[in-house]
Amino acid sequence: MTEKTLRRCRWVDESDPIYVAYHDKEWGVPVHEDRRLFELLVLETFQAGLSWRTVLHKRENFRTALDGFDPARVAAYDEAKLEALMADPGIIRNRAKLRAAVVNARVFLEIQAQWGSFDAYLWSFTNGRVIRRTDGQHPARTELSDRVSRDLKRRGMAFVGSVTIYSYLQAAGVVDDHEPECFLYRGEEE
């Protein structure tokens, strides 16, 4: 099968190569590297209220603006840096979300210090297992996203409601929600 004849999840806009590449190479693939986990967390929090396409098309601009998604560098941002980010037309300029990125980076570092890595913390919620949905449904939130969201909020993170966290769990591959007709569908849990 060629890339054009592959069947994908219904939500994929086949006319957008960035969207197709995200679906085919990233979405639902387990991530265990902390900087990538931080990147996805930041992107998902910026997506709240916007389309994922908007975020994906600004991803490289975010990477540059946020120092390669280095949580230690983002955690150190001051008001002057936030003002510079607010002037950057290449990213989503939302002051509350930019402040949340800084706060969330600080909490991310605290979790790393406590758990040894953010990866260990995040995957502890599923005992290291990928959760695979086999019904082809995409809920907005689940009991798992409720638990992770509650814990992150308790630790001080912002813009991490259950719906955002469910999308994050999908992006990080903790949850694999590929639809049964999608060429990436894997079926039951491993």
Catalytic positions, written as ranges: 22, 44, 52
Tell me the chain's radius of gyration from C-alpha atoms. Answer: 17
Which tokens is 120 given? 């260990």
**What gap in Å lies between CA 96 and CA 101, rounded to an integer?**
9
- List C-alpha distances in Å: 71 to 27, 35, 82, 160: 22, 7, 15, 16
Give the torsion sign (CA, 170, 172, 173, 175). Answer: negative
At residue 122's C-alpha, the angle toward residues 117 and 123, to 5°, is: 100
Say if CB 179 and CB 23 are below 8 A apart: no
DSSP 18: H
3-state secondary structure 51-95: CHHHHHHHHHHHHHHCHHHCHHHHHCCCHHHHHHHHCCCCCCCCH
**What gap in Å lies between CA 189 and CA 167, rounded to an integer?**
19
